[in-house]
Amino acid sequence: MAPSAITATETEAAAPPQPLKVARLFGPYKELAPSKYSKEVEEGKTGLKAAKYANYLPTWNPEQKYPPLQPFEHYEHGKDADTSYPELLPEGAAVTHLTPTIGTEIRGVQLSSLSNAGKDQLARFVAERKVVAFRDQDLADLPIAKALEFGGYFGRHHIHPTSGSPEGHPEIHLVHRGEGDKSAETFFESRTSSVAWHSDVSYEQQPPGTTFLYILDKPETGGDTLFVNAVEAYDRLSPLFQERLHGLKATHSGVEQAQASDARGSIRRREPVINAHPIVRTHPATGEKALFVNPQFTRDIVGLKKEESDAILKFLYDHLAYGADFQARVKWEEGTVVVWDNRVTQHSALLDWKSGQRRHLARITPQAEQPFQTPYQS
């Protein structure tokens, strides 16, 4: 054997072992929501910008405990709408369609002033266009009780089991990332994307229908919301695949969301539930069929083996996520209220701004009917 050319070696001191970073795992659920903030910062006592709507700052009250939700009879007001939309789209209103199949922006209409007939038209128009951004609205400036009164026309208010809510108003679901909050940096240490497609609380027996999200504070740029048209996603499938999906149900679980809340020391207002819903659901007003599975809450297809279920669900998730030609991106402006139909869309917030600026929104989430499907028609 030839002699080694190395005649001397230098030994470096071994680096001390680094602690292993283990991501918290809650199944497929992607946890992004903060459960605390600095009250002094949000009140503007530290030199940072104060929250514009202090009455909407989140609270997590451990004393709020509720029994399991009971079934109720939902009335779909969109079925009563005049589809010429005389009150919702009066002469002079500026209407801009964001894409051919999903998304509309409307200026010149005040939602809080709509009559019941106008609200019927709103429910139907949103079901048709899937998501609508109304600009220059006063909903955030109304007393919270008045905002809830408006939203209550569309269904029973959902009280979220874990999210923050304004003091005394658990029916309001808050999306809040405080001024100076850069906790997203920790999230991106173990994840490559903040995109988390979902339909809100789809694990409930009667998930939401017409849903309202209104801006309170926003970063200068970033924090947009993506929406996907689940009707168009269904329509793009081959007739053979559409037919095969009919009759199948998938389970939707709130367990992982509750576990994530537990892990960060937060609240459970109700115990989590698991419900099975049709993979293809029918909208009661339009009759359209939509895919109703999402990676945040859907877990498996009833009656299939795990590998079979996983393969079909992954295809459907990817189909929805990659469908840029049936998606819309909503940019937030002050005074914006975004209204969408959770039965025929999915959405994802984007955590893409690095300025530490506040993002603060309020959601009113009326529940709708238990998902159902109508027979397959080619």
For this structure, is 352 an active site residue?
Answer: no
Q: How many CB atoms lie within 10 A of CB 213?
A: 24
Q: What confidence tens digit (pLDDT) does each residue in 287-326 have?
A: 999 999 999 999 999 999 999 999 999 999 999 999 999 9
* pTM assigned to the model: 0.92
Which of the following is catalytic: 347, 358, 359, 360? Answer: 347
> Does 347 participate in catalysis according to the annotation?
yes
- Look up 136 and say whether it is catalytic: no
Can 97 be counted among the known catalytic residues? no
Residue 39: phi, psi to the nearest 5?
-65, -40
Active-site entry in 169, 198, 299, 343: 198
Q: Exposed e or buried b for every residue in 233-271, given b needs 16+ CB within 10 A?
A: bbeebeeeebeebeebbbbbbbbbbbbbbeeeebbbbbe
SS3 306: helix
Task: Compute how many other C-beta atoms are within 10 angstroms of the C-beta atom of residue 30.
Answer: 19
Closest CA to 28 of 305, 301, 295, 347: 295
Q: Per-residue pLDDT tens, the chain, 378 aa: give them.
A: 444 444 444 444 555 555 444 445 456 677 777 888 999 999 999 999 999 999 999 999 999 999 999 999 999 999 999 999 999 999 999 999 999 999 999 999 999 999 999 999 999 999 999 999 999 999 999 999 999 999 999 999 999 999 999 999 999 999 999 999 988 888 888 889 999 999 999 999 999 999 999 999 999 999 999 999 999 999 999 999 999 999 999 999 999 999 999 998 999 999 999 999 999 999 999 999 999 999 999 999 999 999 999 999 999 999 999 999 999 999 999 999 999 999 999 999 999 999 999 999 999 999 999 999 999 987
Which of 124, 156, 158, 200 is flagged as catalytic? 200
pLDDT tens for 1-12 read 444 444 444 444
Contact 130, 345 (CB under 8 A): yes
Q: How far apart are CA 112 and CA 70, in angstroms?
A: 29
Cα–Cα distance measured from residue 274 to residue 71, given in angstroms and rounded to the nearest whole number: 15
CA 357 – CA 215 distance, rounded (Å): 14
